[in-house]
Structure 1
Amino acid sequence: MKINENTLLEGHRVVLVPYNADHVPRYHAWMKSPELQQLTASEPLTLEQEYDMQRSWREDNDKCTFIILDKQRWADPSVEEEQCMVGDVNIFLTDPTDPSLAELEIMIAEPSYRGRGIGKEVTHMMMSYGVTKLGIKKFQAKIGLDNEVSIGMFKKLHFQEVRRRDVFSCLVCKVFKEVTLELTVDDLVRARLLDDTTFVKERDYRQTCGNRQELVSH
């Protein structure tokens, strides 16, 4: 999505940056993992297909994607940005007739970063961005039934379960069992969400390349 192509969001422990071509090799390596394929109900792609997907996420008007970076590592200019990657977070506008409805998806790909509250911080940041910049009024999250940690996190964020079903993948004859959770953004939810994300700083991604340490120290 063009709207966030130069947007950087800085949180307490993470930095969210646009998904660019430099991130693709590590992302591709992540998605070779059978565990991540299972958790995200996705299929492995070739590297060329992964680059095509990156361009799609960057250009299409119905997708908004950020790569999650470890803020502490990112603050060190000697560390390449790709080495700071933790996962990704996405908003998909799934209904062409209703641009206020969005599916929210988060993946913490690096196992050592799971269970540390990073998913909750990132989800809050992305939801706030979706509400204030994209006009989202209802969020959905579709999660594999085996992913109990993510289901629990979304329920703690006041998402309500609305559906359970089997999802068939015809290419490889797999069946994924998933649950759909929803949250309607009324005035109370919006106020709570914005209050929970007052710490987030929005910056121009292009201006952070040479002064990462200075920005984080302030």
Structure 2
Amino acid sequence: MRKGPKGEQFYRKRKSHLSGATMRVNQNTVLLGQKVILVPYTTEHVPRYHEWMKSEELQRLTASEPLTLEQEYAMQHSWREDTDSEALRRGVGRECTFIVLDAEKWQAQPDLAEESCMVGDVNLFLTDLQDPTLGEIEVMIAEPSYRRRGFGTEAVLMMMAYGMTTLGLNKFEAKIGQGNEPSICMFKKLHFEQVTMSDIFQEVTLRLLVSEPERQWLLEQTSHMEERQYRGRSWWSREANSC
């Protein structure tokens, strides 16, 4: 799938392109950041996600095909429930997905539905049969009012930290359309280096090798991040009301 030209908010690809097992390691995990909260993709999020992907602009910029609401629910169920023991054992063919929420809105209004706080999603794909320590990362900030405000950058940093500490990754790749200079610049600011350019697919591949200095830098950038157990929106309502 190709990426769009508008920068970090459109760096993503449709989740349906993967074969093999999906990944459930993060299905009970919430990551708390400064701008964003990352939560697992649940049925509660499907209607809003489906509305996003009705946009012809998003379809074009994300190289996605429109799905029916029923197909979106099936996709979410596949991510949540499907397993392939051999693929999971080998650590490949997996996808780690978080929905990106507005942290300020999510925390300030405990009774507000999670769907109302959604701004995008961030994904890691582990599909390299030869190297299970390599993850391809992508992000989409679908809500226009949240673009170019650092939400995508923090989501990527938090996802990389999670991939490094929880999934054992030490290499990250980003595949970006050649004309997508804002997104290329964003990843370069995050210490990614361009390694290949494909004229056929009109995309560049950027890679980050997590050396010890890079590991320390990434941990410093995400030192504010908290990982907690996710039990749905009702859990945060109880936490907030008990304070």
Task: Calculate the TM-score normalised by the size of structure 1.
Answer: 0.88
Gaps of 5+ in 1: 168-175
Partner of 1:34: 56
Q: Deviations over 1:38-64 (max 9, x none)?
A: 332222222222222222333455010
The Cα shift of 1:148 comes to: 2.6
Aligned partner of 1:23 among 38, 41, 45: 45
The Cα shift of 1:2 comes to: 1.6
* Greater percentage in strand: 1
Mapping for residues 67-216 of structure 1, pairs under 5 Å: 67-75=99-107, 76-165=109-198, 177-206=202-231, 209-212=234-237, 214-215=239-240
User: Letter of the aligned partner of 1:41 in structure 2?
Assistant: A
**CA distance, structure 2, for counterparts of residue 52 and residue 181 of structure 1:** 32
**CA distance, structure 1, for counterparts of residue 99 and residue 70 of structure 2:** 19
By relative contact order (CA 8 Å, sep 6+), the higher-ranking structure is 2
Partner of 2:6: none
Q: Deviations over 1:4-46 (max 9, x none)?
A: 1110000001110000111111111111222222332222222
Partner of 2:15: none
**CA distance, structure 2, for counterparts of residue 166 and residue 49 of structure 1:** 33
**CA distance, structure 2, for counterparts of residue 13 and residue 148 of structure 1:** 24
Q: Which moved more, 1:25-34 or 1:205-214?
A: 205-214
Q: Deviations over 1:54-113 (max 9, x none)?
A: 223334550100000011111212311101000000000021232101100100000100
Partner of 1:173: none
Q: Which moved more, 1:205-214 or 1:92-101?
A: 205-214
Q: Deviations over 1:146-167 (max 9, x none)?
A: 4332221101111111223356
1:13 aligns with 2:35: yes
User: Letter of the aligned partner of 1:188 in structure 2?
Assistant: P
Q: Does the Cα contact within 8 Å between 2:24 and 2:79 map onto a contact in 1?
A: no
Q: Which moved more, 1:1-10 or 1:147-156?
A: 147-156
Q: Deviations over 1:127-176 (max 9, x none)?
A: 00000000111111112234332221101111111223356xxxxxxxx6
Q: Percent same amino acid at aligned positions?
A: 59
Stretches (4+) displaced over 4 A: 213-218
**CA distance, structure 2, for counterparts of residue 147 and residue 217 of structure 1:** 46
RMSD of Structure 2 on Structure 1 (CA): 2.1
> How many residues align structurally?
210
Partner of 1:170: none
**CA distance, structure 2, for counterparts of residue 216 and residue 118 of structure 1:** 27
Q: Does the Cα contact within 8 Å between 1:40 and 1:143 map onto a contact in 2?
A: no
User: Letter of the aligned partner of 2:132 in structure 1?
Assistant: P
